[in-house]
Homo-oligomer: A and B are copies of this chain.
Amino acid sequence: MKLKHLLAPATALILAPALGFAQEAAEGAEAAAEVAEAAPGVTPYIFTTLLFLIGGFLVFWMAAGFAMLEAGLVRSKNVTMQLTKNIALFSIAAIMYWLIGFNLMYPGDGWTVPGYVGAIFVPTVLEPVGLGAADAALDYASVGSDFFFQLMFCATTASIVSGTLAERIKLWPFLIFVVVLTGVIYPIEASWQWGGGWLSEMGFSDFAGSTLVHAAGGFAALAGALILGPRIGKYRDGRTVPMPGSNLALATLGTFILWLGWFGFNGGSQLAAGTVGDVTDVSRIFANTNMAAASGAVIALILTQVMYKKPDLTMTLNGALAGLVSITAGPLDPSLFGALWIGAVGGIIVVFTVPMLDKMKIDDVVGAIPVHLLAGIWGTIAVPFYTEGTSFVTQIIGIVAIGIFVFVVSAIVWFILKAVMGIRVSEEDEINGLDMAEMGMEAYPDFTKG
């Protein structure tokens, strides 16, 4: 019975051209050709919709990955808070992207400042699907599936910020920042490229978001880290005090989750799966994505062994993630060898810049700035090595433009939040841990602290 939902219109769609030409017997072959041409229109729509849904649930899963990674890399006294931030930021992103973000990012004919700022209105809250201008625009996939998929990228951008600022930022100012980031900042800068704005006009290329998602999240995190300052005791007498993560099993799980989710992140960004060419491309993207992660992990493992005489698990995890971020701007065109070396450079960047940030006293609890901002920039710059029609200059212009926009706007928001309500917990609360101070709830109440 369910099968008949659309059988009438679908059949009509298929048969329309056939019947239109079926005046004479001599036109039979032509009709057959028409049928063959028309029929695929239905299945590509289905395939592409499924790509969005499957890709979307994989990217959703990355929210869990960030939560586990960050919960594993903070000290046990701040784990409940970090978990709360992660589930809350995803939920807020889901609401804000619907309320403002999606229409702002895909304005259709509704640009407020053409090419720069999309449609700032919320017209369709009460409509059946409520997805506004973009609704009519899609004929190659369900708009609901597209919304679902794109929303996940918006949420990812916010996830990146929470790791850097962990262990000292207050919950509510952070969540208010997330409201602005997911409702306004991300949709505007992403619209410049994916909404058909000025960067896409210019020839900037960022397939799945090395810059639009990862570096953007990194810039927002960097602004926050500078304004928030490092954790108490992190930098003492010119020395960096290690504050080891409380649960490396969780951190590893988080990395595996992110790796898995990235197949959806990059593969789904093909935005089409209805032809032989498209699924072949999606397959290449899967293979390249995997390769970049693998080479990022291996190089970080080897480098830490060579440099510090001890292989470093958290560096290896971040190496894998940096490999993933690096390939994200151009996962389709490189050969597997290309993915290998692009990912490896990402891993190298992490190993060298994590201590560099510490020297600059920028306290990034989970290493999100090296992984997402720096490897994201690298990946975006690397695109012209393999993708025809792109140029290093244009890539750099795009990175700089997005970087300035996100960093400046984020900094303004952080400053306002700091002035209005304060963004940092008290010294006492920070030392005691945010879990008891802000939440009244420990993550591991049964385990004695060492």
Q: What is the distance, in angstroms, from A440's C-beta to the closest C-beta of chain B? A: 5
Q: Are B84 and A316 in contact (CB under 8 A)?
A: yes
Beyond A67-B256, A142-B282, A151-B290, 9 additional pairs, beta carbon < 8 A: A27-B28, A28-B29, A53-B279, A61-B260, A80-B313, A83-B313, A244-B441, A244-B442, A312-B439
CB within 8 Å of B: which A1-37 residues: 2-3, 5-7, 9-11, 13-15, 18-19, 21-22, 24-37
Say yes or no: B95 contacts A142, CB within 8 Å: no
Chain A, 39-61, contact with B by CB distance < 8 Å: what is the 0/1 string? 11011111111101110111011
Across the interface, name the chain B residue whose C-beta is closest to A246.
B446
Bound Cα distance A90, B63 (Å)? 23
A50 touches B3 (CB 8 A): no
A94 surroundings in chain B (CB, below 8 A): 290-291, 293-294
Judge if A106 is at the interface, Cβ distance under 8 Å. no
Closest to A334 in B: B128
Asked if A311 is an interface residue, CB under 8 A from chain B, the answer is yes
- A52→B283 CA distance, assembly (Å): 9
A111 an interface residue at 8 Å Cβ cutoff?
A: no
Q: Which of A13, A76, A280, A450 has the most C-beta atoms of chain B within 10 angstroms of its own C-beta?
A: A280
A293 CA to B95 CA, complexed, in Å:
10
State the main secondary structure of chain A at its contact with B: helix
| A249 B79 Cβ-Cβ under 8 A | yes
Bound Cα distance from A10 to B72, whole angstroms: 48
Contact B95 A294 (CB under 8 A): yes
Chain-B contact segment, one of A226-234, A270-278, A401-409, A414-422? A270-278
A387 on the interface (CB 8 Å rule)? Answer: no
B31→A255 contact, CB < 8 A: no
Digit string of A155-197 for contact with B (CB within 8 Å is 1, else 0)? 0000000000000000110000000000000000000000000
Nearest opposing residue in chain B for A131, CB measure: B336
User: In the docked arrangement, what's the CA distance between A14 and B248, Å?
Assistant: 53
Nearest Cβ in chain B — how far from A5, in angstroms? 4
Return A179 CB to nearest CB of chain B, in Å. 11
Complex Cα–Cα for A103 and B416 (A): 59
Do B298 and A10 touch (CB < 8 A)?
no
B residues near A313, Cβ cutoff 8 Å = 80, 83-84, 87, 439, 441
Number of copies: 3
Q: How long is the Cα–Cα vector from A286 to B56 in the complex, in angstroms?
A: 9
Would B29 and A144 count as touching, CB distance under 8 A? no
User: Shortest 6 CB-CB distances between A and B: which pairs?
Assistant: A28-B28, A6-B277, A144-B283, A64-B256, A22-B29, A94-B294
Check if B439 sits within 8 Å of A446, measured CB to CB. no
| Interface-centre pick from A33, A47, A247, A290 (highest chain B CB count, 10 A) | A290
Is the C-beta of A328 less than 8 angstroms from some C-beta in chain B?
no
Of B25, B130, B450, which is within 8 A of A446 by CB?
B450
Cβ–Cβ < 8 Å partners of A438 in chain B = 310-311
A287 within 8 A of B: yes
Residues of B close to A447: CB separation below 8 A: 76, 246, 444, 446-450
Which residues of chain B are within 8 angstroms of A373 by Cβ–Cβ distance?
A: none
Pick the contact of A28 from B32, B68, B143, B252 — CB < 8 Å? Answer: B32
Residues of B near A43 (CB, < 8 A) are 43, 46
The answer to whether A444 and B247 touch (CB under 8 A), given A278-B5, A335-B129, is yes
**Cα A281 to Cα B129 with chains together (Å):** 10
Whether the pair B249, A83 counts as a contact (CB closer than 8 A) is yes
* A389 sits at the interface (CB 8 A): no
In the complex, which residue of chain B has the Cβ closest to the Cβ of A147? B287
Q: Which residue of B lies closest to A95 (CB)?
A: B294
Which residues of the partner chain B approach A126 to less than 8 Å between Cβ atoms?
Answer: 335, 337
> From A284, which residue of chain B is reached at the shortest CB distance?
B144
